[in-house]
Amino acid sequence: MAEFLNDAKLNIERLKYFQAFEIQLCRLLGGWLAGVARWETKHELGLHIWQNSENSRDLRTRLWELRVTNPDRDVEPEVLKVIQALSLAQHDYELIAGLYLGVKKQLTKAYEAYLKSTYSVYDFPTIPILKRLIATNHEQLQWAERELALVTDKGEKKRNMQRWLRYTEEVLSAVGGIDGQGEKADLPLPPPAYSSVLPFAEAKRDERFKVQMSGMPMPDKAERLEWLVWQFANYAAEMQAAETLATMLWETEDMSWEFYFDIARHCWDEVRHSKLGETRLAELGYHVTDFPCSVGSYAWRQLFDPVIRYCALTYIIEAGSFKFKHESYQDYLAQGDTESAQAIMFDIVDETMHVRWGSKWVPKLMEHYAYTQTLEDLVEECRAITAKHSVAPAQRVAIEKELAARA
């Protein structure tokens, strides 16, 4: 990478490109989350979705301090060219190679070059931000290198990966480099027969899982161990909620930056809830793959547009879960199971925030998608849709009780 000139205006332009790449990488990772089969990889990508959104937030905050009121102006279209081109990957290992060994590596080098070139006193507030981003991105890159060494174990996969990495580098060069300051050219053609596989209609799981559409049936609550295992196996299945939210990051275009930031956090929370379930099962002596893995919740939500998906998730599913979760919390406290009780309390805290985001963003999504009905009518429509399609027993029980109370 060429040395940066110590020019304040040029550095501001670079920061604009950097923040745009970070949030758009978050969106593309979201588009692919459901299409990644390996369980551990899903969890790592969920974390990176959130980290990338945080990186973008910190850069945007600095740009606002530098009196850049619209950090996306004149930059986002160029960055989107790269993201759209890289969305054509056919395999998850290609995507990881392009996004990490291609884009992330160049971003990290650009951050390091910026630190060497900028005014150490005048531009000091930028320095700790980029140091944190460099550390985060180095961790992501190290993970990607380990991951690719693990999953590209055959010659064909390695050849595909190297071809896609070259294509990524050519795409970046065509838009003037990672900071947009180089010469621009027409985008290169993708490899033959490559076209977008997004969005994924079904959520993929690796060969260790016994996949089914429906959720595990509810056991008798008097059978305490069966109930405990069932509840935390259901938490592990919340990866489907994360995958639903991740698709929204990709499919919902031209929303405000703040929308993507909030949805990225919501997605990461659901990934953590899945890990919460997996962790508690491990403490009880089980592995997440010991139980049937439902993918039906993701599948039915993908039948509807992002407005329905988000309204159903926040206004119906999450809002309708509090009574059940508070009862579970109290039951575990009474049984002396503080570990399970604390896990559920943290979940309740997250879900409270998610319902607030539903109130914030569902009306905005209705405007975005030109919905003409009232919010109340939309909520009732989503209640009926969820009652008809839900494959999760606890959700169906909550909705049935709600509908019975209204009758």
Q: What is the pLDDT of residues 22-63, one digit of tens each?
A: 999 999 999 999 999 999 999 999 999 999 999 999 999 999
Q: Give the three-class secondary structure for 239.
A: helix
| Domains of the chain from N-terminus onward | 8-174 (1.20.1260), 211-406 (1.20.1260.10)
Contacts 24+ apart (CB under 8 A), 107-112: 107/18, 107/21, 107/22, 107/137, 107/178, 108/133, 108/134, 108/137, 108/138, 108/141, 109/1, 109/178, 110/1, 110/14, 110/18, 110/178, 110/179, 111/18, 111/137
Cis peptide, bond prior to residue 199, ω within 30 of zero: yes
Cβ partners under 8 Å of residue 385, min gap 6: 304, 308, 312
Largest CA distance in the chain: 70
Q: How many CA atoms lie within 13 A of 79 on its CB side?
A: 27
The model carries a pTM of: 0.95
What pLDDT is attached to residue 4? 58
Q: What is the rounded CA–CA span in Å between residue 306 and residue 279? A: 30
73: left (phi over 0), alpha (psi -120 to 50) or beta: beta
Q: What is the rounded CA–CA span in Å between residue 89 and residue 157? A: 13
Q: How many CA atoms lie within 13 A of 359 on its CB side?
A: 7
What pLDDT is attached to residue 407? 66
User: Which amino acid, one-letter code, is at 108?
Assistant: T
Q: What is the rounded CA–CA span in Å between residue 211 and residue 204? A: 9
CB distance 115 to 86 below 8 Å: no
**Burial class (CB within 10 angstroms; exposed 0-12, middle 13-18, buried 19+) of 135:** exposed
What pLDDT is attached to residue 1? 44
Q: Which residues of the chain carry a pLDDT beneath 50?
A: 1-2
Q: Using alpha carbons only, how large is the chain's radius of gyration in Å?
A: 22
Q: Give the three-class secondary structure for 328.
A: helix
Cβ atoms within 10 A of the Cβ of 69, count?
7
Q: What is the rounded CA–CA span in Å between residue 396 and residue 392? A: 6
Cα distances from 49 to residues 6, 233, 384, in angstroms, run: 31, 24, 32
Q: What is the rounded CA–CA span in Å between residue 263 and residue 48? A: 13
* Residue 249 phi, psi (nearest 5): -55, -40
Residues paired with residue 294 on neighbouring β-strands, in sequence order: 212
Residues paired with residue 293 on neighbouring β-strands, in sequence order: 211
